[in-house]
Structure 1
Amino acid sequence: MSQPQEEFSDGLTSLPLFPLNLVLFPGMDLPLHIFEERYKDMIGECLNQDSPFGVVLIKEGLEIGDPAEPERIGTSTRILRSEVLDQGRLNIMTKGERRFEIEEITQRVPHVVGRVRYLVEIEGQGCSELVPQINDEYVELVRNLTALTGGYTSRVEIPEDPVELSYAIAANLNLEPHLRQSLLVTETAATRLADLIPMLRQGNEAMRKRIEEQNPFQGPRLN
């Protein structure tokens, strides 16, 4: 059973933070290999308490060594399963849950802890017009990703909720971290979907070319 996080009268929550060179979206799976002592301790506490931690893109600094300066907005993530290795190292699988904004860094050693405010997800105006435009491109994206690994899928599950759809698309696109961060900080699903449409089309075009290069003789069948 999950233990309650430390909450303050101003609505903020204390959350251990993991600065990384990547952006995590709500609903996105994230495998991690934990080998630094500070993060072994942090993840151990999260496992013992069944509590989340926050993943934030590094603004300045490095993943290893001195504490890095994180971006202000990140995503809380919960550990789904873990595997203990030699020397106390861990392999964990996590799933992104909720966006948050860091209001204050309260600890930097041995690992970063912040007081955060969880953000409310807003659909915004125009989702009903944007979703039909993007659904077909999303289906093609999933099929292209599957084809690149030598697979095939006949049925693609499309999230009905516009917020979930926007994050699912953003998670599957191969974008630079700063672009992914800009999508994460976007306030409404409608704006995020509108921003994603040209990125999605460009991504599908690039993947189609890669698939053709992998299968130069692929073409229409005659029988």
Structure 2
Amino acid sequence: MEEPQQGPSDGLVELPLFPLNLVLFPGMDLPLHIFEERYKDMIGECLNNHTPFGVVLIKEGMEVGAPADPERIGTSTRILRSELLDQGRMNIMTKGERRFEIVEIIQRVPHVIGRVRFLVEIEGEGCSDLVREIADEYVALVRNMTALTGGYASRVSVPEDPVELSYAIAANLDLATHLRQSLLVTETAATRLADLIPLVRQGNEDLRQRIANSNPFQGPRLN
């Protein structure tokens, strides 16, 4: 499996970029429908060369039309499977892999290409205590999300790695886009987990309320 083209000694790589109105975290699945010619060509090259592309939140501009200006930090993503449709359109399933920082935009047309630096993941101080504090909330989050769709999660696997756990929680929370980008930019897993603790608690409270409101058997008893 090939990696993006790397410079001779500066540690930078050239990566095709897909600016979107969303934030992708490492480990997060992302389905995409590809219909614009520029992205059909870009994704076709990634499929042919078995290389990733980068997903970045749009800072200014729109997904369709003229090239948008991306945020500085994004996530590389790998295509897991693809489905070719009529007129060259595609459905693809991708998974986020590694965070990167855009150092320079070297092409804007037909699609954006950047020179990027992949970021080193740092656990930070106090991770063990933070993991213990947030693990039960993560289990509750997964169970509440499953219950909201009428299911039940009897066993929930909690990632042991603090970095992986922080991204798993962030990916599953229903957060405003600017908050998701802020969590992606955060340098250490410890800081990210600390920021997530009040957010996941509030998320669980909101989910429990939605579950209660959707219960057809709630209300005044008749007997």
- TM-score, normalisation: structure 1: 0.96
Q: Distance in 2 between matches of 1:182 and 1:5?
A: 26
Q: Partner of 2:72 in structure 1?
A: 72
Q: Partner of 2:193 in structure 1?
A: 193
Letter of the 1:137 partner, please give it.
Answer: E
Q: Distance in 2 between matches of 1:5 and 1:24?
A: 19
Q: Partner of 2:157 in structure 1?
A: 157
Q: Distance in 2 between matches of 1:198 and 1:4?
A: 38
**3-state SS of paired residue (2:5):** coil
What does residue range 3-152 of structure 1 map to in structure 2 within 5 Å?
Answer: 3-8=2-7, 9-152=9-152
Is the 2:139–2:156 contact (alpha carbons within 8 Å) kept by the matching residues of 1?
yes
Letter of the 2:74 partner, please give it.
Answer: G
Letter of the 2:142 partner, please give it.
Answer: V
Q: Distance in 2 between matches of 1:115 and 1:190?
A: 28
Structure 2 unmatched runs, 5+: none
Letter of the 1:154 partner, please give it.
Answer: S
**3-state SS of paired residue (1:165):** helix
Runs of 4+ in 1 over 6 A off after TM superposition: none
Q: Distance in 2 between matches of 1:218 and 1:141?
A: 22
- Shift of the alpha carbon at 1:3? 2.1
Q: Distance in 1 between matches of 2:92 and 2:120?
A: 27
Q: Distance in 1 between matches of 2:43 and 2:37?
A: 10
- Shift of the alpha carbon at 1:44? 0.1
- Shift of the alpha carbon at 1:81? 0.1
Q: Distance in 2 between matches of 1:4 and 1:195?
A: 33
Q: Percent identity?
A: 80
Structure 1 unmatched runs, 5+: none
Q: Distance in 1 between matches of 2:123 and 2:43?
A: 33
- Shift of the alpha carbon at 1:218? 5.7
- Shift of the alpha carbon at 1:118? 0.1
- Shift of the alpha carbon at 1:216? 4.7
Q: Partner of 2:170 in structure 1?
A: 170
Query: Over the residues paired in the alignment, what is the CA RMSD in angstroms?
Result: 1.0
Q: Distance in 2 between matches of 1:4 and 1:56?
A: 18
- Shift of the alpha carbon at 1:127? 0.5
- Shift of the alpha carbon at 1:5? 1.9
Cα offsets for 1:7-32 (capped at 9, x unmatched)? 01211000000000000000000000
